[in-house]
Amino acid sequence: MPSRKAQNISEAKLGRLLEYNRNLRDQLDIPRITISEASTSLITYCKQTRDPLVPSVWGPIDKKDDPFTPTNHGGCCTIM
């Protein structure tokens, strides 16, 4: 008859295996798409979305549309 310590170790191993099995089943349920479909989607997004960091492709960006333009609040310091 196995000792209590060996039984606890076996139960811990079983628990880890069951958790690992559950994680694998969860990953199996994640919806997947083919590489070609993902590539096409990425190309379409890049063609339709204006990128302010690539002005050579999209042309100059208006200051109000550029999210990287520094904002001027009138002064350099704020005292609280």
Residue 8, both tokens: 């606890």
CA 71, chain centre distance (Å): 29
For residue 18, CA distances in Å to 2, 22, 23 come to 22, 6, 9
Contact call for residues 52 and 59 (beta carbons, < 8 A): no
Contact call for residues 63 and 69 (beta carbons, < 8 A): yes
Whether the model pTM is above 0.85: no
pLDDT by 10s per residue, the chain, length 80: 567 888 888 999 999 999 999 999 999 999 999 999 999 999 999 888 887 777 787 788 777 777 777 776 666 666 66
